């Protein structure tokens, strides 16, 4: 009986590190407004953050966006790399959260043309299982710009 209990205790302690690990990825919903296109784009992306730390993290995103036929082109494909630079804990909201700054870069294409972009997100709030970004500025290689009005990342694995 002692061996069984000690074996179960060792198994429980060994697997508890797996369950206490931070979230690695999930999905993103985004709302963008481009300077040179009329209308907004609504996006859905898969997100993976394999490298994380207390102040610096690295993430990857891939997905698509559509304007529901209101803009030309009506759909876009997007992939990006994101670097998180700062973690400041605060009690600005109802729940404890962390303010972050994120820089990202990537490619956006409609499969006929493609554009490289750089994006700065100064208002990123992390709530444990979700991240909310507001008013990110995106600069494209053709000297146009876009605003990522809202982006919500929900972690589920």
Q: Model confidence over 100-154: pLDDT tens digits?
A: 999 999 999 988 999 999 999 999 999 988 999 999 999 999 999 999 999 999 9
Range of the domain at 29: 24-155
Question: What CATH number is attached to the domain comprising 109?
Answer: 2.40.160
In a domain, 100, yes or no: yes
Query: Which residues are CB-neighbours of 83 under 8 A, at least 6 positions away?
Result: 56, 57, 58, 102, 103, 104
Tally of domains in the chain? 1
pLDDT at position 89 is 87
In a domain, 19, yes or no: no
Across the range 20-37, mean pLDDT stands at 83
In a domain, 2, yes or no: no
In a domain, 106, yes or no: yes
In a domain, 29, yes or no: yes
Count of alpha carbons within 13 Å of 48, Cβ hemisphere only? 5
Q: Model confidence over 71-108: pLDDT tens digits?
A: 778 889 999 999 998 888 888 888 888 999 999 999 99
Which spans in the chain are helix H?
2-19
In a domain, 15, yes or no: no
In a domain, 49, yes or no: yes
pLDDT at position 16 is 45
């Amino acid at each position: 009986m002692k061996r069984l209990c000690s074996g179960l205790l060792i198994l429980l302690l060994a697997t508890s590190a797996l369950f206490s690990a931070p979230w690695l990825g999930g999905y993103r919903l985004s709302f963008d407004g481009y300077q040179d296109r009329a209308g907004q784009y609504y996006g859905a992306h898969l997100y993976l953050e394999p490298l994380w730390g207390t102040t610096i993290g690295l993430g990857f995103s891939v997905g698509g966006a559509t304007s529901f036929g209101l803009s030309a082109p009506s759909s876009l494909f997007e992939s990006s790399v994101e670097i998180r630079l700062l973690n400041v804990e605060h009690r600005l909201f109802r729940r404890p959260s962390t303010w972050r700054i994120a820089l990202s870069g990537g490619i956006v294409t409609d499969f006929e043309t493609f554009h490289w972009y750089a994006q700065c997100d100064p208002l990123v709030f992390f709530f444990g299982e979700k991240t909310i970004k507001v008013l990110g500025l995106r600069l494209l290689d053709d000297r146009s710009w876009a605003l990522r009005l809202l982006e919500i990342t929900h972690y589920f694995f």
